[in-house]
Amino acid sequence: MNKRRMTVLLPLLAAALALGACSPKYNWRESSDDGAHFVVLLPGKPARVTRTVDLDGPKAEMSMTAAEIDGTTFAVGTAELADNAAAARALDAMAAALLNNIGGKAREGAALPGKTGEFSRTLDLDAQGTVRGRPLRLVARLAAKGRRVYQVLILGDAKAVTDENIETFFGSFKPT
């Protein structure tokens, strides 16, 4: 193959490889809960569920909006508690429950992307754990704003919880 053909083919090959590396499985779209308490980008069509949760004392109806891609869950949960103090305290119960669910321990100093200035309290978690023999990574931001609590998380295989997905998901979250 001559040098001229190589200079034409190499850029085309590089472009084809780059396009092939793009994964259509992450179809980021703006989503919110039915009460419009937040806006976030989710990588697929969201499902919604509401259930009663025990936040170490107070019980609350938590609404979850989530999308799952290849076994990795991207979710936002929100609940309203009796008062601001209960909301701030509930974050510790939420963190303990999430870590217990995966038998994990949070890494010290986790700091996730996205704005936190409008919250009265936040907890960022980055933990490794195992569920049914499957190693998982949990990345979560728990936040209180007034009487409302938010649970923003990604849970999945460590390879699927990429820096790019963390940046896109957490950077897009906005309480309303």
* Domain spanning 27-175: CATH 3.40.1000.10: yes
Q: Where are the domains of the chain?
A: 27-175
Q: What is the pLDDT along the chain (176 residues), one digit of tens a residue?
A: 544 433 333 343 333 333 334 445 889 999 988 777 999 999 999 999 999 998 877 789 999 999 999 999 999 999 999 999 999 999 999 999 999 999 998 888 888 999 899 999 999 999 999 999 899 999 999 999 999 999 999 999 988 899 999 999 999 999 98
Whole-angstrom CA distances from 116 to 6, 123, 143 are 51, 10, 8
Predicted model pTM: 0.83
Q: What is the longest distance spanned by two Cα atoms in the chain?
A: 75
- Tell me the residue type at 42: L
CB 79 within 8 A of CB 61: yes
CA dist 144 and 80 (Å) reads: 10
Whole-angstrom CA distances from 77 to 13, 154, 173 are 44, 12, 12
